[in-house]
Amino acid sequence: MFGRAFNFVPMAKLIISRTSEYINRARGIKIVLNGKDLGKIANGQTRETELPAGEYTLKAKIDWCGSNDFRFHVADGDTKEVTLASFGYSWHFMPISFVILVIVTFTQFILHIPEAAFFGIPVLLILFYYFTFGRNRYLVIKEKG
């Protein structure tokens, strides 16, 4: 029994890197692989998981919003690296939204120009889209590289 040679086959590896972002900074994002919960990943964190060879579907969730279904195949010994981030240009969204809010507040309540509220409509429409119809596009999983 001890004299037999073992055929060791290295498992495949999945590396998930979450970008460091201001938006969703304090919240963990749940990682789901083939319907199985792998736990949460924090802001700026990288997680590694060993997998047997095969076909997989990776998804990320935060509250009622989620990501695209990222489908991939790995063979024994392969490494698949992916990045997880908020929707495109989300790093611009927060500062621009803040500036628009300050402008609208200033013009409405200091200068008494009620029409200034219309400048806030694009921000509200973007939020409405990502929290309703685009809720499964709020997070983005892409292959690294």
User: Looking at the predicted structure, is the pLDDT value of residue 88 above 80?
Assistant: no
Q: Which residue has the higher pLDDT, 60 or 111?
A: 60
Looking at the domain assignment, is residue 2 inside a domain? no
- Confirm whether 70 is domain-assigned: yes
Average pLDDT of the segment spanning 55-81 = 94
Mean pLDDT, residues 75-83 taken together: 94
Residue 83 and residue 105: Cα distance in Å, rounded?
37
* CATH code for the domain of 59: 2.60.40.1120
pLDDT for the residue numbered 107: 86
Q: Is the pLDDT of residue 87 over 60?
A: yes
CA–CA dist 62, 42 (Å, integer) = 11
Residue 43: its pLDDT value, please? Answer: 94
Specify if 3 maps to a domain. Answer: no
DSSP state of 10: P
For the chain, how many structural domains are there in total?
A: 1
Task: Quick: pLDDT tens for 27-54.
Answer: 899 999 999 999 999 999 999 999 999 9
DSSP 67: B
Confidence (pLDDT) at 4: 56
**Beta-carbon neighbour count of residue 19 at 10 Å?**
13
- From 74, 84, 75, 88, select the one nearest 32 (Cα to Cα): 84
Angle at 39 between CA 34 and CA 42, to 5 degrees: 125
Q: Is the per-residue pLDDT at 1 higher than 50? A: no
Q: What are the start-end ranges of the E strands in 1-145?
A: 12-18, 29-33, 36-41, 46-51, 54-62, 65-66, 70-74, 79-86, 139-143
1, two tokens:
């029994």
* Domain annotation covers residue 83: yes
Output DSSP code: residue 119: G
Q: Radius of gyration (Cα) for the chain, nearest Å?
A: 21
Residue 75's pLDDT is what?
A: 93
pTM (2 d.p.): 0.78
Among 55-59, 85-89, 110-114, 121-125, which is the least confidently predicted range?
A: 85-89
Domain range holding 122? 12-143
